[in-house]
């Protein structure tokens, strides 16, 4: 599990991500122009998540995806979560989605 200073540093550098203290997780909402973009984004994340055997909790309705990351067997946030969060942000920006 990461120490609270490292998690705080990540959150300061990525203000769209929020700390969920109750669940010891980080969470972010992504907004896309339509369902196809949100589903494409989720597909990209799913491919890496399966390869790394580290899967996000997420919720999707039409053009929104809410992603929550925590490492259940560590009971908190680990480097795996930060790595997946950074990858998700990279995919979001490199695919040139139009955020609302």
pLDDT tens readout for residues 20-73? 988 899 999 999 888 999 999 999 999 999 999 999 999 999 999 999 999 988
- In this structure, the number of other CB atoms found within 10 A of the CB of residue 94 comes to 9
Phi-psi region of 46 (alpha: psi -120 to 50; beta: other; left: phi over 0): alpha
Q: Which fold has domain 4-94?
A: Gyrase A; domain 2 (3.30.1360)
DSSP letter (8 states) at residue 76: B
Q: What burial letters (b/e) apply to 14-43, b meaning 16+ CB within 10 Å?
A: eeebebeeeebbbbbebebeeeebbeebbe
100 pLDDT band (50/70/90 cuts)?
Answer: very low
Query: pTM (2 decimals)?
Result: 0.90
What are the phi and psi torsion angles at 17 (to 5°)?
A: -85, 140
Q: CA end-to-end span of the chain, whole Å?
A: 34
What is the structure's pLDDT at 96? 63
């Amino acid at each position: 599990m990461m120490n609270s200073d490292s998690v705080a540093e990540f959150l300061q550098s990525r203000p769209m991500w929020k700390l969920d203290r109750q669940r010891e997780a980080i969470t972010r909402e992504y907004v896309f122009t339509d369902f196809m973009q949100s589903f494409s984004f989720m597909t990209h994340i799913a491919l890496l998540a399966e390869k790394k055997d580290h899967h996000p909790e997420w919720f999707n309705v039409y053009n929104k995806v809410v992603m929550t990351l925590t490492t259940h067997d560590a009971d908190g946030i680990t480097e795996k979560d930060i790595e997946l969060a950074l990858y998700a942000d990279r995919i979001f920006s490199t695919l040139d989605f139009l955020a609302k």
